Amino acid sequence: MTNLPRAAVIGNPISHSLSPKLHSYWLNRYGLDGEYTAIKVTEDALESTLRDLPKQGFIGANVTIPHKVSVMQFADQITDRATLIGAANTLIFKEDGRIFADNTDGYGFMANLRQSAPDWDPKAGPAAIFGAGGAARAIIVALADAGVPEIIISNRTRPKAEALRADFGARVTVMDWVQADKMLEDANTVINTTSLGMVGGQEFKVSLDSLRPEAVVTDIVYNPLRTPFLEAAQEKGCTTVDGLGMLLHQGVPGFERWFGQRPEVDEATRRAVLE
């Protein structure tokens, strides 16, 4: 067993994860002792892995699909934002084996938006969100926190969007998927949180004709970096923000807690994970 502080990303599948590249780059950049690996963990093995990792010298972990919700039941302490979102993506293992769970997806989303579109004003108008999955939950919490006055959600499976309205209250309204383009008429912020547009996946087909050129448009899909959704928004004159920065920024709080250094997200960081 190594004595280096160790962290990992756990999920299934896991080979596609960019987190090992990101954290290894930061460890190297700041000259820190440490190790960050990817570990494939099946649902059946989740609890035993979480109990075992601290014994092997792991001080924490990132959590990805499909464990973000199920890890919550094994946590001894959960941050308010993770409780509100109902999922965790960052774990800290205490010396006595207790597990502290946080969710940094909303933080990562917001830090990326603020860094990439510094003139973005959350209070300037409604936000329109395509999708109502796990990432959408984290983003709604972050947008509400930032003071966005109205959040309109449209999801293929409408009851999931209705459930978000029930959880997050009056500021959230729901629009039918067949009318999703109507959300764009007044939207100041537009976000794709569906998996549509991902390499090898289905196309994003909702018309973006009603986009206002003043809108800031972001896609959390980052493979490809320039999705057809972002390309269409750029053609309308909108400021566009890709999803890679969200992934990079969501890693910041975990890295800082585990390795004691707050890392920068900059062009060099982007290049390092894209290599």
* Residue positions annotated with a catalytic role: 68
Please choose, out of 7-15, 94-102, 152-160, 231-239, the segment that lies near ligand NAP by the rule CB under 6 A. 152-160
220 lines the binding site for ligand NAP (CB under 6 A)? yes
Please choose, out of 8-16, 26-34, 72-80, 194-202, the segment that lies near ligand NAP by the rule CB under 6 A. 194-202
Q: Which residues, 6+ apart, have CB-to-CB distance to 87 below 8 Å?
A: 68, 69, 72, 103, 134, 137, 138
Which residues, numbered 27-86, are part of the site for ligand NAP (CB under 6 A)?
Answer: none
How far apart are CB 6 and ligand NAP at their closest, in Å? 23
**Pair of tokens at residue 177:** 């998927």
270 lines the binding site for ligand NAP (CB under 6 A)? no
By the 8 A CB rule, do 56 and 27 touch? no
Among residues 131, 251, 253, 254, the one that binds ligand NAP under rule CB under 6 A: 131
Among residues 198, 212, 228, 270, the one that binds ligand NAP under rule CB under 6 A: 198
What is the spatial distance between Cα 184 and Cα 180, in angstroms, rounded to a whole number?
8
Please choose, out of 14-22, 33-41, 125-133, 259-267, the segment that lies near ligand NAP by the rule CB under 6 A. 125-133
DSSP string computed for 12-57:
SS-TT-SHHHHHHHHHHHTT---EEEEEE--GGGHHHHHHHHHHTT
How far apart are CB 160 and ligand NAP at their closest, in Å? 5
195 lines the binding site for ligand NAP (CB under 6 A)? yes
**Pair of tokens at residue 142:** 């972050």
Cis peptide before 224 (omega within 30 of 0): yes
Burial of 95 (0-12, 13-18, 19+ CB in 10 A): exposed
Interface with ligand NAP (CB under 6 A), residue total 25
Please choose, out of 31-39, 55-63, 116-124, 217-225, the segment that lies near ligand NAP by the rule CB under 6 A. 217-225
116 lines the binding site for ligand NAP (CB under 6 A)? no
Identify the bridge partners of residue 63 per DSSP, sorted by sequence position.
10
First and final C-alpha spacing in the chain: 30
Among residues 14, 61, 88, 135, the one that binds ligand NAP under rule CB under 6 A: 135
Nearer to ligand NAP, 194 or 269 (CB): 194
Residue at token pair 């997050």: 168
By the 8 A CB rule, do 94 and 240 touch? no
Identify the bridge partners of residue 172 per DSSP, sorted by sequence position.
151
Nearer to ligand NAP, 5 or 108 (CB): 108
The total number of residues shown for the chain amounts to 275
Question: Which residues of the shown chain bind ligand NAP in the complex (CB under 6 A)?
Answer: 105, 108, 131-136, 155-157, 160, 193-196, 198, 202, 220-222, 243, 246-247, 250
